[in-house]
Amino acid sequence: GAGVSQTPSNKVTEKGKYVELRCDPISGHTALYWYRQSLGQGPEFLIYFQGTGAADDSGLPNDRFFAVRPEGSVSTLKIQRTERGDSAVYLCASSSQAGDTQYFGPGTRLTVL
């Protein structure tokens, strides 16, 4: 079946702009995760959804970052007033339920000029 998909694959924006990154999890997966991977580093946990609610958002770096999952399927990561330091690959993963194996999408490469 289809895996986790993320759009866009690449996003270039200017400092100060607002961006939205989308994640389509595997159908039926109730748990969804966002990570950020900077160059040369491992993925860094941002937020985890169980259904529609954010079960753990302790990894969001500041209040410019926000994520939603209104219907318990697709999720959107929103970044306001982007900064050059936000440049990274943003990864999304889903699992059939909390604690099960996480399946990762290909990521969205965000570049802030």
Peptide bond into 43 cis (omega under 30): no
Is the CB of 46 or the CB of 82 nearer to other proteins? 46
Q: How far is the CB of 62 from other proteins (least distance, A)?
A: 18
Q: How many CA atoms lie within 13 A of 66 on its CB side?
A: 9
- Contacting residue, 67, 102, 108, 110, with other proteins by CB under 8 A: 102
Q: Which stretch binds other proteins (CB under 8 A): 18-26, 63-71, 74-82, 88-96?
A: 88-96
Give residue 25's Cα distance to chain centre. Answer: 11
Does 34 engage in binding with other proteins (CB under 8 A)?
no
Q: Which stretch binds other proteins (CB under 8 A): 11-19, 20-28, 67-75, 102-110?
A: 102-110
Residues 90, 21 contacting (CB under 8 angstroms): yes
Token pair 């697709």 in the structure block, residue: 74
Q: How far is the CB of 16 from other proteins (least distance, A)?
A: 30
Q: How far apart are the first and last CA of the chain?
A: 37
Tokens at residue 59, please? Answer: 């990894």
**Binding residues vs other proteins (CB under 8 A):** 3-4, 31, 33, 35, 40-45, 48, 55-56, 58-59, 91, 93, 95, 98-99, 101-107
